[in-house]
Structure 1
Amino acid sequence: MNEPRCTSDPSGDKLQDWIQEMAVYVKSIDPKHLVEIGLEGFYGPSTPQRFQFNPNTYAQLVGTDFVRNHQVLGVDFASVHIYADSWISQAISDNHLPFIKSWMEAHIEDAEKYLEMPVIFAEFGVSAKDPGFNSSFRNTLINTVYKTILNSTKKGGSGAGSLLWQLFPDGTDYMDDGYAIVLSKSPSTSSIISLQSTRLALFNSMCSWRCHWSCNKKHVMEKILYYDEL
């Protein structure tokens, strides 16, 4: 599902029951494919000590619960979205960046400590329609996300990847909702995405997921994954 919520039941029980039923049902039909929920990542009643990481107080009342929902049998990996310009303030602000970093680090930590599964930051971006938007801020935001992922990758952690919302090919930007990035028209952003892809591909080709940096490739990989701001 995409960004499920159930505001009629802030306890989260109704959505939890639905996730439990559907995850097992989907696996009974197709046990060979990975299942995820599509959550935005809001912390709910099962982890009140994590409310501090939510973007606002409303987030804890929408019927979702990041940790509890992902503990359901049949769910294979965790999903989180990142929309500081929707959740905190629409106007571009440097306050968005520390939120994004702490939001990601909290979910990576919980995926390792409580869920023991990878976490994908399945949507993130910033809208060109936001007051004060500029491409430099967008690049800084993308770099913040990518750097946090790489820091987890270097430690063999649960940060498993990130997906921009959204990349458009030439000629389709008439469908742009504000978040679209057309690579041919955004060379600096394209370079950032390419560099991230290259670094992750190098890591995956040289080191297995289970080595957790205990192998003799550690120092070589540290150099490859060292993150220079662009």
Structure 2
Amino acid sequence: MQAVLNRVNTLTNVMYKEDPTIFAWELINEPRCESDPSGDKLQAWIQEMAVYVKSIDPKHMVEIGLEGFYGPSTIERAQEINPSSYATKVGTDFIRNHQVLGVDFASAHIYADAWISSTITEAHLNFFRSWTQAHIDDAERTLGMPVVFGEFGVSSKDVGFNASFRDTVYSTVYNIMLSSAKQGGGGGGSLFWQLFPAGTEYMDDGDAIVLSKSTETSSIISLHSARLKIINSVCSLRCRWSCKKKSAMEKEL
């Protein structure tokens, strides 16, 4: 971490920890610690690393990179929202993990085909709806921070896959995010997995989107971006975070 944060970009001569084009640091991608289902071991690691990153780079935001499974701290929520009982035993805890000092916004992923079944059914779409809304609600009401869905998608390798279903999934996630954004809620952003330029399909894991070959999906993504731009242009009038953040900043200054 020290090596990365202090690295100097050879093109701009700017240290990464000083670089204004970097949005945030992710501690680790999809951490799990099955050897300790209580979550204590991973919690201690997150506490140590979040503070360590901030000690070197206080200018950038930090997020964890969680898949978003609920854990022992909210067992009822885990039973209600998690895709399986196994997800409660992998050592992660969406609520507890994000209550750590130094973590600025919540993170979650959405993979119904990996967590429920590789055969596409209506249950997948229902899961996308409930999972997305639950994490927005809990990030906003319990954690007091926005949540970014750092990955979501549908694999073309799934049994029963078709592009129309994938487009429906994208539209479902985007509509929930837009609804939250309009209300100044906890939906901070969503990044589908994954965008590929033409000619690189040989690296496709099944989730790749090549815009030139997926015109309908491309239109959905473009429309969502345009809508978000409009909503964000009037964010200061509606955002539930602005007054609190402004007040806090003024006090610090």
So what's the TM-score if we normalise by structure 1? Answer: 0.90
Deviations, residues 133-188 of structure 1 (Å, cap 9, x unaligned): 00000000001100110111111101011001001011111100000010000000
> 1:209 and 1:98, CA in 2 relative to 1: closer, same or farther beyond 3 A?
farther
- Between the aligned residues of both structures, percent identity stands at 71
Q: Which whole-Å CA distance do the structure 1 matches of 2:50 and 2:135 have between them?
A: 21
Q: Which whole-Å CA distance do the structure 2 matches of 1:98 and 1:18 have between them?
A: 33
Aligned 8 A contact 2:68 2:108 in 1: yes
Aligned 8 A contact 2:118 2:159 in 1: yes
Gaps of 5+ in 2: 1-27, 241-253
1:1-230 equivalences under 5 Å are: 1-51=28-78, 52-208=80-236, 211-212=239-240
SS of residue in 2 equivalent to 1:178: coil
Q: Which whole-Å CA distance do the structure 2 matches of 1:167 and 1:94 have between them?
A: 25
CA RMSD in angstroms, aligned pairs only: 1.2
Q: Which whole-Å CA distance do the structure 1 matches of 2:215 and 2:131 have between them?
A: 28
Aligned 8 A contact 2:185 2:239 in 1: no
Q: Which whole-Å CA distance do the structure 1 matches of 2:60 and 2:95 have between them?
A: 22
Measure how far apart 1:27 and its partner are.
0.3
> 1:151 and 1:40, CA in 2 relative to 1: closer, same or farther beyond 3 A?
same
* Residue identity matched to 1:99: F
Q: Which whole-Å CA distance do the structure 1 matches of 2:43 and 2:185 have between them?
A: 27
Bigger mean CA offset, 86-95 vs 60-69 = 86-95
Gaps of 5+ in 1: 213-230
> 1:102 and 1:14, CA in 2 relative to 1: closer, same or farther beyond 3 A?
same
SS of residue in 1 equivalent to 2:135: helix
Measure how far apart 1:209 and its partner are.
6.8
SS of residue in 1 equivalent to 2:167: helix
Runs of at least 4 residues off by over 6 Å: none
SS of residue in 1 equivalent to 2:61: coil
Measure how far apart 1:67 and its partner are.
0.3
Q: Which whole-Å CA distance do the structure 1 matches of 2:122 and 2:105 have between them?
A: 30
Q: Which whole-Å CA distance do the structure 1 matches of 2:75 and 2:239 have between them?
A: 34
So what's the TM-score if we normalise by structure 2? Answer: 0.82
Q: Which whole-Å CA distance do the structure 2 matches of 1:29 and 1:134 have between them?
A: 46
